Amino acid sequence: MYVVDEANIEAHGSDPYNPDKTLADKEDWNYAFLERTKAMVERDKNHPCIITWSLGNETGYGKNFMDTYNWIKQRDPSRPVQCEDAGLNGASDIYCPMYKKIDQIENFAQSNDHRPLILCEYAHAMGNSVGNLQDYWDVIYNYPNLQGGFIWDWVDQTFQKYDSLGNQYWAYGGDMGESGIPNDSNFCANGLVQADRSLNPHIWEVKKVYQPVKFKGIDLKDGVIEIENKFDFLNLKEFHFEWIIKSDGKTIHKSEISIIDLQPHLTKIIFLDLPEIIPQRNTEYFLIMKMLPKNGNHFLPDDHIIAWEQFRLPIYKNGITRNIESLPRIQLKETDSILEVFGNDFNLLFNKKSGYLTSFLFEGKELINKGPRLNLWRAPTDNDLGNGMPGRCSMWKNIASEAILKNIDIRNINDFAFRINTTYWHENSNSTFNIAYLVSGDAALKIDAAFSTEGIELPELPRFGIQLILPSEFDSLQWLGRGPHESYWDRKTSASIDLYAGTVWEQYHPYVRPQENGNKTDVRWMGIVQ
């Protein structure tokens, strides 16, 4: 382990970035700065894991930090010294900002500054978080002077308590002591793991992005793969490699690689003897590379995946086009308020005043509790609360109930299909949206949605989608897509495409404060059943 040892100096509550108030430039605090710095160095100087001294954190910058920097350099010239608040121009051997954007660290990498950049904090891991981590590391790996960063932080600092029914929960600021005592809410719950060291979903993204071996597809058709060893000391011959080919969740081929002799920081091209695959219609084939411990490793079980990658093979065969005229016939009935579309074993009801689907009976069973609605909202995450998203984007929260139906258009495509087009207007955002339903004789319902705005500047959309509420007895699901843990458009590197199954409840993760969770990305299909 490489350790940055930081002096216990932080004055975030003293308005440290106001030059007239920062303690870092007040002479009467100089002794305290030096004493804390000296105590750290003298206590820890003989620990070889410590590779860098840090002067402190979030305290502003001034003469007191210059003095502590100079004292350490004369006392221990063997180690670099860093100071976050020194920025680009102060006394620091490492440029160590916090939460710099990707383009900002890339601009530094392309500058003439000879120092390394190590983010002293980034990827704030509070609640549902650690998005766009892969984007950071695509840039970091591209420049030798970008050397990574520190995720804030490792573990939720919460306390185990029980409610009146005996249910355990993680308590945080405001849950202890008398009501009204000042606290920082759940701001100490920002870990990759929970207080009992059980895993939060975002730790899987960190594991995948940080994996010490990278696989790159050079020519997937012929099985040509590049392997890069990012270890500093280990040869890859210390590990076991295997590769499999999967389709629709089933393994159709599995092979092992006897040995890969590859020294640290080097790359090697390997050639896989891919089997001949006769593609089935509408079927994808994936190659998965895995690196595992070799037999006899005393620290990891043999099935522990240290590094992996998934590649979609360039093998595909289109399916047969569906002939809608071969389907059973359907009929339509209309009153002033209700539109009914029905076939042999199904019945759909639309409310003509709201435009919404209100009932979908299939073989006598009601399939919906609440019909499809435009949904531009999601439960805010902790970091959303920190950047003001709930207030900034509040106009999108209730758009489905606030919008006014402007038009409903019913079109008989033929005897086997009907299309119902609905158009809505939302006054607050001067926006319009359309929801179109295509009903065919085999009881299939296809829904298309479109949304457009014009004329005024608007906040971002937290989500764009359709919300459909099913009866509670539909409690199990299966999906072909990314999993098994939750994934998002900016946090899906760690989720492989496969066939997964579970209960609806199992998709929920008990974050310390309830928030957005359980999302799935790149879903080919999903089935929800009783």
Report, as an integer, the average pLDDT of 89-109: 97
Residues contacting residue 364 through CB under 8 Å, at least 6 positions apart: none
Using one digit for the tens of pLDDT, what is the confidence trace for 348-406? Answer: 999 999 999 999 999 999 999 999 999 999 999 999 998 999 999 999 999 999 999 99
Whether 467 shows a pLDDT value over 80: the answer reads yes
Spatial distance between the Cα atoms of 494 and 487, rounded to a whole number of angstroms:
8
Using one digit for the tens of pLDDT, what is the confidence trace for 432-451? Answer: 999 999 999 999 999 999 99
Q: Which of 83, 5, 9 is nearest to 46 (CA)?
A: 5
Whether 39 shows a pLDDT value over 80: the answer reads yes
* Confidence at 12, pLDDT banded by 50, 70, 90: confident
Using one digit for the tens of pLDDT, what is the confidence trace for 420-430? Answer: 999 999 999 99
Residue where the block lists tokens 């289109």: 318
Identify the weakest region by mean pLDDT among 9-18, 122-131, 135-144: 9-18
Which contiguous run of DSSP H or E holds residue 217? strand 213-219
Whether 299 shows a pLDDT value over 90: the answer reads no
Tell me what pLDDT residue 118 has.
98
Q: What is the mean pLDDT of the chain?
A: 94
Whether 258 shows a pLDDT value over 90: the answer reads no
**Annotation says 58 is catalytic:** yes
Q: Which of 405, 355, 403, 349 is nearest to 376 (CA)?
A: 403
Q: Which of 121, 205, 486, 516 is labelled catalytic?
A: 121
402 in helix, strand or coil? helix
Spatial distance between the Cα atoms of 381 and 130, rounded to a whole number of angstroms:
11
Spatial distance between the Cα atoms of 135 and 200, rounded to a whole number of angstroms:
21
Whether 1 shows a pLDDT value over 80: the answer reads yes
**Annotation says 27 is catalytic:** no
Residues contacting residue 42 through CB under 8 Å, at least 6 positions apart: none
326: burial class by Cβ within 10 Å (0-12, 13-18, 19+)?
A: exposed
| pTM, rounded to two decimals | 0.93
Spatial distance between the Cα atoms of 193 and 196, rounded to a whole number of angstroms:
8
Whether 237 shows a pLDDT value over 90: the answer reads yes
Whether 324 shows a pLDDT value over 80: the answer reads no
Tell me what pLDDT residue 178 has.
79
Whether 530 shows a pLDDT value over 90: the answer reads no
Q: Which of 10, 58, 226, 242 is labelled catalytic?
A: 58
